Structure 1
Amino acid sequence: MDQAIESVRAFNRFFTRHVGAIDARFLDTDVNLAEARLLFEIARQQPVLANALQDTLGLDRGYLSRMIARFETRGWVIRDRLSEDARARPIALTPKGHAIFTLIDERQRTAVAQDLDRLSVVERDDLMQALTKARLLLDPQACARFTIRPARTGEVSQVATRQSILYAQSHGWGRELEALEAETTAAFLRNFKPDREQCWVADIEGVMAGAVFLTDEGEDVARLRLLHVEPFARQRGIGDALVRTCIGFARDKGYAAVTLWTHTVLDAARRIYARNGFTCVSTDVHHAFGDPVQGETWHLPLSQAAIGPHARSPRPVPLAPFGEEVAGEHRGGHA
């Protein structure tokens, strides 16, 4: 914890200096950073009440009132005079205030562009992902929207890496699991059937928030594999969305059933599967990850042939972390 605290503080010191956060004249203008931030929110939300600005910025009411009063004195903002209560008077920029805001905004965009121009395309993407992930880690509700898209080059291997790290932390499953993860994803890439298989990624502003695979098992059976949702992205419905994407794809491609393999200890994952129509059809105890753990095979029929009296049972497969939720779900957090 001490090391983590120092790392965050060191970055804060660097960044406040880098962006001029403690300069009396932010970007060589007549405002400091707090005033520039307030101007930005007025421009974005106008006409806006002081209470709304206070909620957005988290500022002390008195400090906010004094800044707005200074803006009025300078002729940058105007309040609607219909209400005697200042808090109920919508605030808007005057033409002079808009000119000041435009100047600050253009200088800020120029400063950021100069930072980004020094970076390659890959470095720029790395920076955007790092900044977005930092924001989501510190404020998990910063962005509630996500998209589901096919995996891009390099992301299939990232899934194996993330699951190995997360399972090691949550369940103590180490090198043996990591080897299985690597073998599973390598086989997917090597034998990929684009018209029958897919890996999907849950994306939040360019950051991988989770993923899932669907592979062809033969004989019209598909297998859901390697479901995971990042800890910062849970409680958003991502796990259900990924599973539904697999089921929809399997139906479109004419599969008769979808099967998966998971573990009894992964309660959150099992709830996702049950919600989406899967049922547990068999269990077995294995020692592949060290201590004995109970694995489960779940099955979802997609056609009458798959649920009839002579329906074929899902074929056993070698042990691999197929269709599991990621580490942390045992604490009650899941997608």
Structure 2
Amino acid sequence: MDTTIEAIRTFNRFFTRHVGAMNARFLDTDANLAEARLLFEIARQEPVQASTLQADLGIDRGYLSRMTARFEDRGWVTRDHGEADARTRPIRLTEAGRTVFGQMDERQRSAVAHDLGRLGPVEQEDLVQALTRAQLLLDPDAPMSFTIRPPRVGEVSQVAARQSILYAESHGWGRALETVEAETTAAFLRQFNPDREGCWVADLAGVMAGAVFLTDEGGGVARLRLLHVEPFARRRGIGDALVRTCIDFAREKGYDRITLWTHTVLDAARRIYTRNGFECISTDVHHEFGEPVQGETWQLILNS
């Protein structure tokens, strides 16, 4: 924990220096960083009440009031007339305020573009994903929508790596599971039949938040494999969406049933399968991952 705390504090110190957060004149303007942030929210939401700004920015009401008063003194904002209490009157930018905001916005975009200009396309994508992932880890309830899409190059292998890491942490399944997952994904890539099989990735603001596979077992049977959802992306319906995608694909391709193998200890996954019509048809104890574990075979009949 101490190492992790220090790593985060080290990054915070780097980033506040990198963006000039300590400067009294942010981006060489007549505002500090807090004032620039407030001006951005007013420009984005105007007309907007002070209570909304306070809630969105999470700042003290008195501090917000003082900054807003400074904006009024500079002629950057005005309040709508009509309410006796100034705190309830919506705030708008003046023409002077829009000019100042436009300068700030352009300078900040230029500063970010300068940073990105030193990176190649893959490095830029790595940076965006790292920042988005950091936000989701620190705020897992952030209002972001997800999409289901085919995998990009490299993501099939990433599924095996992520599942191996997550199951090692949650259940102690180590190298043996990693071997099974690596072999499964390698076979999928080597033998992939796009007319009968698929892999789908849950994309949450550009970050891979989960995935699932469907493979052809022959005889009208499809197998659902390697379903997982990242911890930071849970409670969003991603697992159900991935399973439904498999079911829809299997119906479209004329499969008679879908089978899958899971474990009794994986309660969340079992609830997803139950909600989507699967039934457990057999159980067995195995030792493939070291300690004895009870595995389960489930199926969904598609064509009765």
> Would you call these one fold, judging by a TM-score over 0.5?
yes
Structural mapping, 1:96-111, within 5 Å: 96-111=96-111
- CA distance in structure 2 between the partners assigned to 1:268 and 1:138 by the alignment: 22
Unaligned runs of 5+ in 2: none
Q: What's the C-alpha RMSD, in Å, of the aligned pairs? A: 0.5
Query: Aligned to 1:125, what secondary structure does the other structure show?
Result: helix
- State the match for 1:281 in structure 2: 281
Distance 1:111 1:143 in 2: 27
SS at match of 1:215: strand
Cα distance per residue 1:298-331 (max 9 Å; x no partner): 0000001xxxxxxxxxxxxxxxxxxxxxxxxxxx
The answer to whether the Cα contact below 8 Å between 1:136 and 1:143 also exists between their aligned partners in 2 is: no
Which residue is equivalent to 1:329?
none
Distance 1:99 1:48 in 2: 19
Q: Which runs of 5+ in 1 are unaligned?
A: 305-335
What secondary structure sits across from 1:104 in the alignment?
helix
Residues 65-99 of structure 1 deviation map (CA, whole Å, 9 limit, x = unaligned): 00000100111000012001112100000000000
1:305-320 equivalences under 5 Å are none
**1:149 equivalent in alignment to 2:149:** yes
1:148-189 CA distance string (max 9 Å, x none): 001111000000000000000000000000000000000000
- Give 1:324's aligned residue: none
- Aligned counterparts of 1:263 and 1:233: Cα–Cα separation in 2: 21
1:210-242 CA-to-partner distances (Å, cap 9, x unmatched) read 000000000111000000000000000000000
Distance 1:188 1:162 in 2: 17
The SS at the match of 1:159 is helix
Aligned to 2:227: 227
2:55 matched to which residue of 1?
55
* Counterpart residue identity of residue 284, structure 1: D
1:159 aligns with 2:159: yes
1:255-294 mapped onto 2 (5 Å cutoff): 255-294=255-294
Contact 2:144 2:205 in 1 (8 A): no
5 Å-filtered alignment, 1:93-242, equals 93-242=93-242
Sequence identity (%): 75
> Over residues 175-208 of structure 1, what are the superposed CA-to-partner deviations in whole Å (9 max), with x where a residue is unaligned?
0000000000000000000111111000011100
CA distance in 2, matches of 1:134, 1:272: 27
Q: Which deviations, in whole Å up to 9, do the C-alpha atoms of 1:97-136 show, x marking residues without a partner?
A: 0000000000000000000000000000000000000010
Stretch deviating more after TM superposition (144-153 or 102-111): 144-153
TM-score computed with the length of structure 1 as normaliser: 0.90
Aligned partner of 1:250 in structure 2 is 250
SS of equivalent residue, structure 1 residue 224: strand
The amino acid that maps onto 1:302 is: L
CA distance in 2, matches of 1:74, 1:260: 66
Deviates more, 1:215-224 or 1:141-150: 141-150
C-alpha separation in 1, matches of 2:248 and 2:270:
19
Counterpart of 2:38?
38
CA contact (8 A) 2:176 2:289 kept: yes
| 1:144 Cα offset (Å) | 3.2
SS in 2 for 1:108: helix
For the Cα contact (< 8 Å) 1:261–1:297, is it kept in 2?
Answer: yes
In 1: Cα distance, 2:199 partner to 2:106 partner: 41
Match of 2:84 in 1: 84
Structure 1 residue 141: deviation in Å?
Answer: 1.6
Q: Which amino acid aligns with 1:229?
A: V
Verify the 8 A CA contact 1:150 1:200 in the aligned structure 2. yes
